[in-house]
Copies of this chain bind each other. A is one copy, B any other.
Amino acid sequence: MAEQLEFYFDFSSPYGYLASFRIDDIAAKHGRSVTWRPYLLGAVFPVSGMKPLVQIPLKNTYSLHDLNRVSRLYNIPFQLPDPFPIPTQAAGRVFYFLDDSDPELAKIFAKAAMTAYFAENVDIRTRETVADIAAKAGGDHEACLAAINDPVYKDRLKNETQTGIDRGAFGSPFVFVDGEPFWGNDRLEMIDAWLERGGW
């Protein structure tokens, strides 16, 4: 059976959010599925020396314009949330807790959490809010709340982040296709072509 694609993203990454709507469909066209791997750009930036979009003069103005343009193109609701960016430990830990027993549920939760943040300006930093979103998606409210403070899921998120960095991921979205790295929402078409041709 063909290897799964691996989709690294940060819950606070707008381009990761946009990519989350399309990555599974692109993989499915080619009979492939996708493993989602939330990680923490807050831990990646000190390694790369890069900064969040909004902190980069010129690029910040362009990126906001571009995010609105890309979201219009794909009919994805989007508004830059405030505050932005935010730390996303709570959402990441709940994701891996759900993922352990039900990867599809974890994806539904992730989509709901990013949609809450990027389309409805819901602050997804707090435990209660994240657990509420998880419960609405079909998870157990108390268990999700507990996972956020559980050393097992604290370590899991840290380790997944380190694994991403060790493999060379430095942004969001960052996708591995049979080991081949693709950075950015604007590379989804290239991933599609890569899967179609089996590389080049």
Contact = CB atoms under 8 A, between A and B. Distances in A.
Interface string A65-101: 1100100110000000000000000000000000000
A159 interface: no
B186 A72 contact: no
Number of copies: 2
Given A72-B200, A189-B189, A200-B73, A183 B49 contact: no
Interface string A13-44: 00000000000000000000000000000001
Interface residues of A, number: 31
A56 interface: yes
A190 B181 contact: no
Nearest to A170: B58
A168 B56 contact: no
4 A-B pairs with least C-beta separation: A58-B170, A48-B58, A186-B186, A48-B57
